[in-house]
Structure 1
Amino acid sequence: MKKKFRVIISAFAISFVIMAGLSIYSLKQFGALRDYSNQVDHTNRVITQLYRLESLLKELDIKERGYMLTHDSTYILEMLAASRHIQPILDNVKVLTRDNEVQKKTFVLLKSTIALRLSDIKDNLKYVDTTKNPGVSPYYFQGRERKLESINFIAEMLKREDKMLREKFQGKRYYQQIASNTLIYLLIVFGLVTQALFLLMVKELKIRLSAQDELQTKLADLSRSHAELEQIAFAASHDLQEPLRKIRIFSNRLLLLKDSNNPEMKDTVDRISASAERMQELIDDMVNLTSLIKEEGEKEEVDLNGTVKNVLLELDERIKNQKAVIHREVLPELYGYPRQFHILFKSLLDNSLKFTRDEVIPVIAIRADKTTGEELTHIHKDLAQKSFYRITISDNGIGFDNKFISKMFKIFQRLHTQQSEFEGKGIGLAICQRIMVNHEGYIIANGHPDVGATFKLFFPAS
């Protein structure tokens, strides 16, 4: 499953790199196309302005000759109107050609020639109005030469602009084709990659659905097994306890018989009774462990301070008899099952009171803080990034060797023999483990022989 997941991730990464590369290349081509388009538009504006300027110069020539022939002042007004449009056009051409050194030099000559041409028109009109000579003034011929010179300059500039326009237009068409092809390739690659990934995901989805069906089947089997386990627990709590009660009753009756003063008989009966009692306690613990597997309704907010307080009240007699010292910090409020929290803390505190050293006053400390899951990386490395409420229960009892930690939380596994002075049925820590699982938490232990033991409970902080 992990391998398939890596394949899908790799496929997505490769497709992303391909798409990103094609996209960047497309952006560059579109950028070049935009630049060439702007250059074509720029050249077209220069050409348009030059043609307008040429048209105005020709119009001035026509109006000048019209006035010379008719002396109609209307021609003068039209020449003034035309000459007023010349300067804005020259300003536009100057701005548009400022990046072209050759055109700038030609424009300077053009501008000075046009200025002289306008001056010749004024001198010619003045000559026409003031002299009685019917001949043509010398200013007219001089102005005609400057007009032709201006038009030649305009033609030179137009020729250059036309050449640049053809080059830029070819570049524009070239990049238009490249941009179009790149877009087509991009769409084709995108379609193929998307289709491949879609088919891969559909295949994976089918596998997941098949696995889910198998999981549902296994869950149904697990549900049946759980129901059977509950039936076994019910039998243990009812059917098996009934013979035990009778064994204890009849063993007690034996003590009341006339030979009850026989020490050997009394010891035998006591052993029978003690074994029956121990068997009954084991059955009770198995019932408790079984009951923890099934749901207990909705979780609720639980004040652990109240829970621990109630547990200490239950253990108050033992605490006083052993003169135990309990140090308790303020505990957090957690969402969970109140009954299970009670069982959890009672089991751990009961262990601390049970496994004590001779002639050493038991000291038990209960602390709480908020931390990360750095201590849980041996379970899963991702837990180091999560936040937990950590509750630590430590004591100064007999402790244990850490090499037995894996054995401690298994059912009916005891670190001490049946003949040991320490009581225990080997199921208490298994119950604690089950409770932590029910609350999506973790329990770890650490011990030192003849120094003490420490149990740490990690509850998710979210």
Structure 2
Amino acid sequence: MKNDKKPSIHQVKVYSIVTIILIIVGSGISYWTANRIEYYTMAVMHTSEVLQRTDELYSSILERETNIRGFVITGDKAFLTYYSQSNIDAELLLTQLQALTMDNAQQQNNIEELRGLINARVRTFDATISYMQEHGDLEGFLDSTRVNNAIVGYQMVKEVVRHINDVENELFRERNESLLNNINALPFIVGLISVFSITIGIVTFFSIYQYNKAQLEANKEISLYQNKMKDQIKLLDDSNKELEQFAYVASHDLQEPLRKISAFSDLLNEQFADKLEGEGTLYLQRITAASVRMRRLITDLLEYSRAGRVEVDKITTVKLSTIISGILEDYEIAIEERSAKITVDKLPKVKGTDTEYRQVFQNLISNSLKFSNPDSSPEITISSESASEEFLENFPKLDQNLKYHLIKVSDNGIGFAKEHSEKIFSIFQRLHGKMEYEGTGIGLSITRKIIEKNGGTIFAESSPGNGSVFNIILPELKN
């Protein structure tokens, strides 16, 4: 009878299977919850970006209203320059809002309605400017109907903007609530699965212990099983910790790790510089330099994206050769991995900012590496020459009184069809699926915006399988 009470090998197997199933189920649920956290985090960030763009758009509308009033009151034509820029900013922000809300038909309708109201007010403002420029004042132009229409028009614009914000605020509330629910549920789910797994593990341990006393021949197998169980429990605990860290990182300032890298590299340099051997000092210097460049790049890009334009006092003379040298240093590992050959000829100095041109050439070089031909090593050439007058006649928007550089970035990559030469510069436009090549489809649109903002233009030439050539036309520096 005593032997009948001993657990059988069948019971041990059942307990083991249950434990493994619980671990798999727990890991699966934890993984699924983590993915939900990531999904709602991205959704919250997306909604925040829409709200930010809407605020920027409304600020641009207010700026335009202010500039019109300033011109009417003072007659100073400088206000018209600011007025024109605010119109450009508003159109760009409307386009960005449309792209960001492609999956929301209600917001698309709201944005189209707002675009119509803005265009109507622009037509009214243009008529006011024309009359003011022709007569010197608005006497005979203004009447009660126009004044009332202006007030009503502004109120309608304000109301549509408020409605857009209301929709996004509601989405933000719902998504943020879902995010918090998933974050709050994660520790409970993981803890519950852990308790069940550990409980079953303990039961299994004692079953093995009892069975080992009756079945000495199975001692090695039972011992191995115990070790495996301990490893599984440890893996689950490690997984729990990683998931908790993920939930923290998902809501933490993304720049915090960069600040820590910079701080600790400085401490290493101060305290252990004399103890580093071989290329250790060089590696530490590269870490420090890279963290500084990354911090500056993140800060400048955030400032650029919010401001929409660079202040005049920030424009300097930029050495393109220095910019590209820094980019190639950052891409050193990627270049070596692809056995890429990059040739850089003598490049000119141009007007602008380091951050802008770093982004331009970083986009172009990274695209050449990314869209390289799998059957051959990437070959990239960056050259410069003076653009001829005959060549510049093909670009009537350029100032024909200026001289220009023609900078070419060519490669031997997969290329693209001629009919896509303009599409690639449109925001969020991709020629390949996300599974084929990573990217957001915004890099080249930003590149064109930067080049055109600095008085130039960019166009591409290519054909499938024959590589691509990106032609950048920029004004020469005045002597």
The TM-score by the shorter chain falls in which range? 0.3 to 0.5
Bigger-Rg structure (1/2): 1
Higher RCO structure, 1 or 2 (CA under 8 Å, sep 6+) = 2
TM-score normalised by structure 1 residue count = 0.41
TM-score normalised by structure 2 residue count = 0.40
